[in-house]
Structure formats: C-alpha cells, structure tokens
Structure 1
Amino acid sequence: MEEGQALLPNPCQPQAVLVAVLGGELLALVLTLASAPLDGRFWSELSQLSLFVQWIVLGTVAVLCLLHRLIVRLSLMAQIVVVFIVGMGMSLLMSQLALWLMLHQGLDRVVRVTPESLLVKTGGITFILLTVLLRYFWVQQQWRASLQARASAQVQALQARIRPHFLFNSMNTIASLIGIDPQRAERAVEDLSSLFRAALASEERRPLAEELELARRYLEIEQLRLGERLRVSWVIDPELDQRRQVPALCLQPLVENAVYHGIEPLPEGGEVRIEVRGEGGRLCVEVENPQPEAGGGEGRRGNHMAQANIRERLRLLYGERSCLEVRTGQGRYRVRFCLPREDAE
C-alpha cells in the first residue's frame, strides 16, 4: 500500500508527536474546567489529569510509531481497527497502572475516584474521542484520494497531448535521414519510441533520472530538425539523488514549450537552459529559453496547457509545499518549479 493511503499521519514525526501532546493537554484542560472548582484544587487536579492523559497519548503514539510500517500496508478498515485497539488498550492499561499507584502508593486518599468510575470514564472518553478522530481521518483520507484521482486525470490529459506538428516533423526528419545517415535515423526512431512509451505509461511518478533522460531524448530529436539553431545547456547538481520520485512528465512538456515558443520563432534560434538542483532538501527545476519580441513563452498563441497542467498537478500532489513560477526579463523566459523534501511528502 502506498503511503498516500495511510489513514493517519506518520506518528514517528516530531510534528505529529507535538500535535498529539498539545491535543492531550487541551483535553485535560477542558475536562478539568468541566469538573473542578476554580479554587486552589484546580491546578492540582489539572496537573494530575494532564499527567494521566499524557501517559495515554504518548503511549499510544509510541506503539503506533513502532507499528507504522506494518499499519500502512493494511486496508483502511484494518487500519481503523488497529488504531482503535491500540488506543483503547493503552487507555485501559494506563488506567490499571494509575489504580495500582493509587492503591500501593497511598494516592487513593488524595485522588478521590473509585476504580470502577476511573475505568468507565477513561474507557468512555477514549471511545468517543477515537470515534471522532478516526471519522475525521477517514474523511481526510477520502479527500486525499479524490485529489489523487484528479492528479491522475491531469497526467492522462498531459499524456494524451502530443503536438501533431512535432510528430509530423519528427517523421519527416527520420525519413530524410534514412538514406543519408541510417544510424542517426535509427537513434531518432528509438528516441521517438521512448517519448511515446512515456506518454502511454500509467505511472503517476517516476525517478528523476528517467524524467531527465526523456527530456534529453526529446531534445535530440529536435536537434536533428533544428540543427545549430537549437543549443542546449544542462546544469545538474552532481550531489542530487536522481532516484527520488517526481511527477511523471513534469520536465519534458516544459522543454517542449521552450523549443516551440522560444526557439522555433527565431531565425537564428537560441539556447535552452535546464537547471536541476537541490535547495535545502527541495528539488528545484528551471527551464529557460529566449523570449521573442512577440511575448516570450506566449510568442505563439495557445498551448500553455502543459504549464497550467503541471502547476495544477503539483498543487494536487503537494499543496502549498510546491510552487511553479514564471519570470521574464532581459530577453529570457523562465519557468521554475520546486518539489518538497521526500520525507515530507
């Protein structure tokens, strides 16, 4: 099962632990306000209840962290059952421990509660809270699933979009090479087949290395057609882990736009610059091309569907943790997008 199908956030992350602790403290405060008079005993009862609640909260988080790799492989219903059992079990275990301390350490004279009422109240409150929380996380998971479905539809729309002019020009180029340079024609056919294979693939993500190779193959085909008019500059961070997963078809369509809107309209051609680097754990990619006088990336009317498509897919997959921005100036048109750290996805 993919991590995106996990019901709960990763309980091993510090943010999740902090949220759980703050939630437990808020619960203790609410329960104390509802039951204790606002006199000298209020703070005493709040501290005792806070300690008891944090035992349950931290114990539950610790067990869920230990079982996290196993839990995320289960079906959603099985995850709900496991989380419910762990939460209720930890609640009853800590109640028994509290009763033991009260009986054997003389705390029963300080804490005025009977064993039966402690077990019933703790079990009842835990049951209600788990039901509400699991319902909330279930709704959240269904919402994430709908976003992933929309992102998948965006990928399919992008895969279905292959500019006819590119296909026809590529076939004409290959046909012209067959008689004079069969080896280059064969390489062009292989590059073209790789592009179509990527367009027909159903995967939503793929390694960065494959995305870079796909862009290179596309540029090699265009290089055959445009010759010296197309110059390409690659700047790739050597320390970047190219095995990391990125959204499928997040680079090649931008490179295609750079050639179509920035190079083809210019008789003298120009340079497409592609920079891939890490920034504080994030992956940032920038595609830069000449900006014709008619409006850069908009020098030819239409087809910014790829750019809008990628922006929307990044938003669906990563939310506010990703970005795609366009900058123009000094005769250049730049498209830049950044993906969040992999461990935060």
Structure 2
Amino acid sequence: MQETQILSSPPPPRALVFDACHPGVVLRAVLGVQLVLAVGALYASADAWQWLANLALATGGALPATLAWLLIACSAKALLQRLPMAAQYAAGLLLGAAAGAMACALLLLSRLIANPPWLAGSASGALLALLLVAALVARARARTPAATTARLAELQARIRPHFLFNTLNSAIALVRTEPAQAEALLEDLSDLFRHALAAQDEATTLGAEIALAQRYLAIEQVRFGERLRVQWLLDPSADGARLPPLLLQPLVENAVLHGIEPNRAGGRLRISTRRKGARAVISITNTLPPEGQARPGGHGIALANVRARLALLHDVQGEFHTKVKNGLYQVRITLPC
C-alpha cells in the first residue's frame, strides 16, 4: 500500500491531501488556532474584559503567523510533495515552530510585549502545526474510501437493470417503424454507459455534465413521449464550472423516476444553469405526482452520494439544497466557477 502524502498534491490515484489555499482548510485552521488561544487566555484572565484583552493580544501575533504557515505550505507544495512521509511531518513541524517564533517577533516589534516567550511560542506553534498535519492525514485517509464508495454507489445508481431493459425494449419497438430513431437511441445509450464505466477524473465541467444529462433525457423521451416535458434554461458562461463527474445524471434520473414516471399524466422537468458573479447555480426542478400515484420514498442514497462528492471537491464552497414547494421538487447546487 502506498503511503499518503501530506501537504502535497499527490499523483493519482492517491487523493489530494492538503491544499493550504483552499478556503475550507484556511477557515478551519484559523478557527482551530483561535479556539486554542481562547482557552489558553482563560488561564491568565481574572475576568471577561481581561480575557478579551489577552485574546486580542495573542491573536495579533498568532493570526499573521498562522496565515504565513498556510501560505508557505501552499507555495512550497510542489517541493514538499517530493519528500518522504517522515520528512513532510518534520517540515510541517518546523514551519509551525517558525510560525510561533514569528508571532513572538510581531508582538515584540509592535511593542505589545517587552519579553516575548520565545520558547513557549515556538513550542506552541510546533504543537498546533502537528495537530493540523494530523487532521490533514485523517482527512486524506477518509477521502479515498469515501471517493471509492461514492464511485461504486453512483455506478450502481446509474446502471439500473430496469432502465437498461426499458431502453432496449424501446429500441426494439422502433427498429422496424423508426430505424433512424432506434439507432440514435442506442447511440445515446452507448455514450451514457461509456461515460459511466470509464475511469473518471476528479472533476469535469458543467458543460460536459449537461451534455450527458441531455443524452439520458433523449433516451427517456423515447420511452415517455409527450408525458415527459423538458425545459432547458442554460447559461453558457457557467459551463466551465468544475464538479465531480456523473453528478447531475443521478439527480435528473431521480426527477424522472419519482416525478414523471408515477404520474399518469406525465410531468415537467426543468434544468437551469446560470452564472452569478464568481459562482455557478444549477437548478433541477420537477413536478410531483398527485397523492395516490407517488412512488414510495427512496433511501436518499443518490442525494447523499451527490452531497458527499460535492463536499469532497469543493468543501465549504459547494452548496447543495433540496426543497418541496407548490407541488414542485427542486435541487439547487451552487459552486465556484
């Protein structure tokens, strides 16, 4: 088994362990350091006002030092990824000690402290860095199994026997009457399965995901005919947004399975994309069948899979929400462009 690399962007198939420039990593690191400082300030405080003063003083030195640690680790990622595991641990530890000394130096230069605790500051910085590295290792070890499980789950959701059989039956029915349409249907099916079974990269583009969803709905359109009414509202400027491969197709399939198929009168499905500043917003909305025709609720595996894979790629920058309102079910995804 290969060792997981720390503070680096390891080569495939190992998961990306640490990207210090990622907003989620920066946020958690800063909040973690602040929490430790807040607890430490309690030991030297007689009341709340003194605690706030001590916390502000410690933050003045620790916050720039923490950001410097993250910036150096991010900038040196290409170099650090070549180091052995033990050397990467040592590099993170030494950077932490240097960051602790930097915090003391800042307090001295600002004349807030006449005699800064150099040894204690360096030791604290090294310890906090060690905790951060340990957290990153745990995150890396959790990521690969999660990605593998998600991959298997989405493949299982994609290749449903009933979908394959229904598609083949539709093609057989069209062979004699509409051979050109039957050929187009089988080509769409071939493309869909090629994408589902091929080795996938960590991310693809929204434009590619939309094209795959269009192939899937072209297949279902043959089966449902006028019962399936699809509306596309696409913003080309959002096509470059990055998202995990095969993320939209299970959501579209869920919309057809639970919103269109049980309804004897059919239903509407709307897929929209738009760019809003530096973010892309994806919305999938379908009508719900009347009571008595609704399919029994599923286990939410597809939704949980999508949510987990989105979090793995974009962390706190990716948002996933669902809601039911006025007989409509909507999935809304927001991610950076």
Q: TM-score, normalised by structure 2?
A: 0.70
- Residue 227 and residue 328 in structure 1: after superposition, are their counterparts in 2 closer, same or farther (change >3 A)? same
Deviations 1:263-304 (A, max 9, x none): 2334443321111223453433222223221268xx122445
Would the aligned equivalents of 2:203 and 2:242 in 1 still touch at CA under 8 Å? Answer: yes
Task: Trace 1:228-307 onto structure 2 (pairs within 5 A).
Answer: 228-240=226-238, 242-294=239-291, 299-303=294-298, 304-307=300-303
Aligned match of 1:84? 93
SS of the counterpart of 1:274?
Answer: strand
Q: Does 1:324 align with 2:321?
A: yes
Structure 2 residue 146 is the aligned partner of structure 1 residue 134: no
CA offsets 1:121-155 (integer angstroms, 9 cap, x no match): 63564145313432343134313531552243133
Contact 2:99 2:125 in 1 (8 A): no
Matched with 1:174 is: 171
* 3-state SS, counterpart of residue 171 of structure 1: helix
**How many Å separate the matches in 1 of 2:145 and 2:297?**
26
2:330 is aligned with what amino acid? V
The Cα of 1:160 is off from its aligned counterpart by: 1.5
Q: Does the aligned pair in 1 maintain the 2:206–2:242 contact within 8 Å?
A: yes
Deviation at 1:256, TM superposition (A): 1.6
Q: For structure 2, which runs of at least 5 residues remain unmatched after alignment?
A: 1-8, 46-52
Q: Which moved more, 1:205-214 or 1:315-324?
A: 315-324
Q: What does residue 331 of structure 2 align with?
A: 336
Distance 1:78 1:8, change over 3 A: farther
Q: CA deviation at 1:168?
A: 0.9
Once the two structures are superposed, residues 237-283 of structure 1 have per-residue CA deviations (whole angstroms, 9 ceiling, x without a partner) of 2321x233212332112212222332233444332111122345343
Query: In the aligned structure 2, how far is the partner of 1:221 from the partner of 1:53?
Result: 58
CA shift in 2, pair 1:199/1:338, >3 Å:
same
SS of the equivalent of 1:217 reads helix
Q: Is the 8 A contact 1:155 1:248 kept in 2?
A: no
Q: How many angstroms does 1:335 deviate by?
A: 2.4
Aligned Cα root-mean-square deviation (Å):
4.4
Q: Specify whether residues 198 and 95 from structure 1 end up closer, same or farther in structure 2 by C-alpha distance, changes over 3 A only.
A: same
Equivalent AA in structure 2 for residue 205 of structure 1: A
Aligned to 1:157: 153
Q: C-alpha displacement at 1:333, in angstroms?
A: 2.5
Q: Which moved more, 1:21-30 or 1:165-174?
A: 21-30
Q: Which SS does the other structure have where 1:129 is aligned?
A: helix
Letter in 1 for 2:90: V
Q: How many equivalent pairs are there?
A: 310
1:162-217 CA distance string (max 9 Å, x none): 33222111111222333344333222222112222232234353221221111100
AA partner of residue 134 (structure 1) = L
- For structure 1, which runs of at least 5 residues remain unmatched after alignment? 35-42, 102-106
Alpha-carbon separation, structure 1, partners of 2:248 and 2:59: 51
Partner Cα distance (1:335, 1:277) in 2: 15
Whether the 8 Å contact between 1:285 and 1:338 is mirrored in structure 2 is yes
Task: Give distance in 1, aligned partners of 2:263 and 2:59.
Answer: 70
The answer to whether the 8 Å contact 1:286/1:334 transfers is: no
Q: Per the alignment, in what secondary structure is the counterpart of residue 338 of structure 1?
A: strand
Percent identical pairs in the alignment equals 31
1:5 maps to: 17
Which stretch shifts more, 310-319 or 198-207?
310-319
* d(CA) in 2 for partners of 1:264, 1:58: 53
Q: Which amino acid aligns with 1:154?
A: A
